[in-house]
Structure 1
Amino acid sequence: MRTSRREAVAVAVGVLLVAAAFVVPHLDLGIVTPLINATPGRLQAFADTAPIFGWWNAHVGWGTVPAIVLGAAAVLWGPALAQRLPWRALPWAAWATACAWAFSLAMIDGWQRGFAGRLTARHEYLRQVPTVTDIPEAVRTFADRILDYQPDSWITHVSGHPPGALLTFVWLDRIGLGGGAWAALLCLLVGSSAAAAILIAVRAMTDERTARLAAPFVAVAPTAIWVAVSADGYFAGVAAWGIALSALAVRGLGPWPGLAAAGAGLLLGWGMFLNYGLVLMALPALAVLVCAPSWRAALRVLVPAVVAAGVVAAVFAAAGFWWFEGYLLVQDRYWQGIANDRPFQYWSWANLASVVCAIGLGSVAGIGRIFDIAAIRRRSGLHMVVIGALVAIAFADLSMLSKAETERIWLPFTVWLPAAAALLPPRSHRWWLALNVIGALVLNHLILTNW
């Protein structure tokens, strides 16, 4: 396999970044460290495997064999199968594969520790669900309980997000699907569906050939390690379908483009009330609009999408929660916690090392081909949306409101990056796909990730 200079440089930078992020914490370089003002016990709890949040624990589990078999099958037959399947079946196949891949990776840690118990931890949403006895009152007083050190403060993850995240799990509980297993299943199904949404968006914005080339990389992306067992996987799925619907609307595909545009607005608007950081999905969404065949086509999508997103905001405002108030308060809460002891001097670049681990070196090689001036000038959809996701990551990083845990927190952006591997020479796809799969398996077997 011959590798171009751009791919080689991208991968070399990725490898060096990851190596430095794992080595630097052990060099005693002052504040260039993952955690300051910490006892040995706190270092072990929060920075044992920095830049990844987890603990060194070489292990195997029930998911080991299925994960290896599925990964090997994807490498050996995935590219050919993606070319042969009828298009209508391909997004479904990608979704099913992504779901099985994510679940098998989770099961390496076991049913309780790896799947059913993850969302029942003391800082997670499910711990708060039993305390919500009056949903309207909870929304109305939500902002009052964001700051820490109050008798009725929300627990960590609830306080750090708008009320939509907590409401999702409360509603799930109210319909009789309470507990960690059902919550994890929701995150798994919605999060893994991002694979289908990405293929649909790439086909709409670029072409079917590119979507087919991207399919195996999207289906068995290393991001699946965190999709299966974190609410951010759910957030990523919601945002991905918002972008996919906007791509269909921009290209005028489907019987009702206007309805697709409104649906995109509803999903992206709902996403803003799941995670404050999803306001940055406006950048990939803008990239989609830039790819519109004309400014009129862009407006035909933008107007109904903005109106629909505004409806979501209006409903929450009428219920008593104002997004901007919550956002300002959550910044104060952020600095009340461990973020104050996570130096930007390390995490400003170690965050990016976490991204490399989460997307795999095959995806990094694909990103090396994204910055193609000719493709950008002709507004190639795949190039534009991946650049939009990268710019969103840059803004999130520079905000200093994402220090550590970005392999999970940035899932709504990083799930798009493996699609960049479609730009690699097809004859090299099995090699790069194998590198992604092996990376995910090694990471999941050597580190017991916190999610």
Structure 2
Amino acid sequence: MAGAFAVGGLLHARGVLRIDHLPPLHALARLPTPALLPAVAFAAVAVPVLPRLTAHLPMRAALAAAFAASLAWTVLLAMSGEGLAWPFTHPQEYLAGLGAVGDDPLGWLAGFTRDLPAYPTHVRGHPPLPVLVLWALAAAGLPGPFWAAVLVVVTGCSATAAIGLTVWRVAGEDAARRVLPYLALCPAAVWIATTMDAFFAGVGAWGTALLVLGARSRAGRVTLGLGAGVALGALPYLSYGLVPYLLVPLVAAVAVGVPRATVAACLTGMAAVSALFAAGGFWWPAGVLATHAEWAADPGAARPYLYFLVANLAVLALVTGPAAAAGLVAPGRARDRILPLAAGVAVLALDVSGVTRGEVERIWLPFALWVAAAAGRAGAGGTGAGREGDRRLLAAQAVLGLLLQGFVRSPW
């Protein structure tokens, strides 16, 4: 990380990285303000208390407590800066593209690829589903940046519960209880509030959770499989870069032995999503080509490949925190780290491809939360204080989140 920032500073000073002022982060430096104190106070309470709650509450209550803590932590961090809604007010964000949708979402969808150059930057860089989600939210009577932020933050924070639930089914209850505090206080919270990629993270996490739940529920195998298929099938229509993410649910399904009926239902749900978009006039491969053409013309494509090949991984380390690194090398069962490793392989594929050169603090959020789940291994200790987690590492997670929020000002 130190090397990535040192080399990035040199490249920025020489004008190579003109659009990144704090490389490898796409951000500006700033100084903390007293507005960060409520988040500091929350962390001071959560670090000793949350591991006890997740260790001793009934499992479903522990999942709910971790979700509530994640939500509180994320909101308090955001409120110490520009607030939850501010990122969505940017003229290049998704909400700025709603005017083109108007009252005809199907007509807009059919012409999406053709009209792509006229849209804001984030719309041009993604498939059409994020805009359609925000359009549906506004059509339901919840328009504007505030409600968009609420949707994104709640969905993103709910990934804590979904990942904990998946770990429970894959690696056992003890592993899930250990990982929950680390997920709740993950430094990724700085970017969960508020980037649309946090919404993608929540959708992917719940799609994976529903899939593994289908292995245990005989009565709900088909229903859960269909739900998983719809969520996972939506991922490529939320972001083109989420195709490698499907390795995570695949590995989870193999690990728990998802029955054929659930797998078939999942594949049916995924196919249904693709069929609906095709029927609406959006052909995914054509969208990929059009977006790649826009990306190639964008200044971001001129970022140096070799620098970000390494620097992206430094940013991933920041987003996931030191506890994730400790967990990845801690001794233990392979089953405990199989999901973080699957996410890591998917991230490496994106990194080597060169399509994610910078800005991965938000782009890789869906993957980062699974990598952060490795932190549960760092807190493995059997009983007592060990079972409640290594508080020093949990404190390090929280302190890193506070430092990132206090000293880094991101445009999202």
Q: TM-score with structure 1 length normalisation? A: 0.86
In structure 2, relative to structure 1, the CA distance for the partners of 1:36 and 1:73 (3 Å cut) is same
- Structure 1 residues not aligned, in runs of 5+: 1-17, 28-32
Deviation at 1:302, TM superposition (A): 2.2
1:394-425 Cα deviation digits (max 9, x unpaired):
01111111111101001111111222111123
* Residue of structure 2 equivalent to 1:205: 170
Q: Which residue of 2 aligns with 1:259?
A: 223
CA shift for structure 1 position 369? 3.2
Greater mean alpha carbon deviation, residues 82-91 or residues 436-445: 82-91
Q: Does 1:78 align with 2:50?
A: yes
1:384-395 matches, cutoff 5 A: 384-395=338-349
Change (3 A) 1:58 1:215: same
TM alignment of 1:161-240, pairs within 5 A: 161-240=126-205
> Which residue, out of 30, 46, 61, partners 1:89?
61
Measured in 1, the distance between the counterparts of 2:59 and 2:405 equals 32
Letter in 2 for 1:447: V
Deviation track 1:279-322 (CA, whole Å, cap 9, x = no partner) reads 112110111122134xxx45333221111100000000000001
Aligned to 2:253: 289
Distance (whole Å) between structure 2 residues aligned to residue 88 and residue 26 of structure 1: 46
- Indicate the residue corresponding to 1:9 in structure 2: none
Q: What secondary structure, in the 3-state scheme, does the structure 2 residue paired with 1:161 have?
A: coil
Cα distance, 1:90–1:255 mapped onto 2, change above 3 Å: farther
| 1:34 Cα offset (Å) | 6.1
1:443 shift after superposition: 1.2
Asked if the contact 2:339/2:371 (under 8 Å) is kept, the reply is: no
Match of 2:20 in 1: 47
Output the amino acid matched with 2:7. V
Alignment of 1:85-124 (within 5 A): 85-109=57-81, 113-124=82-93
> What pairs up with 1:343-422 in 2 under 5 angstroms?
343-369=304-330, 375-376=333-334, 380=335, 382-422=336-376
Aligned equivalent of 2:273? 312
| Contact 1:263 1:305 (8 Å CA) reproduced | yes
Residue type of the alignment partner of 1:53 = H
Give the alignment's Cα RMSD to 1 decimal: 1.8
- Structure 2 residue matching 1:50: 3-state secondary structure: coil
Match of 2:213 in 1: 248
Q: Label 1:119 to 1:226 Cα distance change in 2 as closer, same or farther (>3 A).
A: same
Q: Deviations over 1:261-283 (max 9, x none)?
A: 11111001112211111111211
Q: Is the CA contact 1:79–1:429 (under 8 Å) kept in the aligned structure 2?
A: no
Cross-structure match for 1:142: 112
Partners of 2:219 and 2:259 in 1: CA distance: 17
Letter in 2 for 1:108: S
Higher mean C-alpha deviation, range 332-341 or range 252-261: 252-261
Q: Which letter maps to 2:360? A: T
* Structure 1 range deviating more: 405-414 or 418-427: 418-427
2:228 and 2:297 mapped to 1: Cα distance? 35
In structure 2, the CA distance between the partners of 1:34 and 1:263, relative to structure 1 (3 Å rule), is farther
The answer on whether the counterparts of 2:9 and 2:22 sit within 8 Å (CA) in structure 1 is no
Compared CA separation, residues 35 and 260, structure 1 to 2 (3 A): farther
In structure 2, the CA distance between the partners of 1:254 and 1:303, relative to structure 1 (3 Å rule), is closer
CA distance, structure 1, for counterparts of residue 47 and residue 155 of structure 2: 24
CA distance in 1, matches of 2:295, 2:246: 23
Write the letter of the residue equivalent to 1:168.
V
Q: 1:205 aligns to what SS in structure 2?
A: helix
Give 1:330 shift.
1.1
1:431 aligns with 2:385: no
Q: Judging changes above 3 Å, is the alpha-carbon distance between structure 1 residues 89 and 210 closer, same or farther for their aligned structure 2 residues?
A: same
After TM superposition, give the deviation of residue 255 of structure 1 in Å.
Answer: 4.1
**Corresponding residue for 2:8?**
25
3-state SS, counterpart of residue 58 of structure 1: coil
Deviations 1:18-50 (A, max 9, x none): 1011111234xxxxx369866xxx83xx32211
Q: Secondary structure of the residue that 1:114 maps to in structure 2?
A: coil
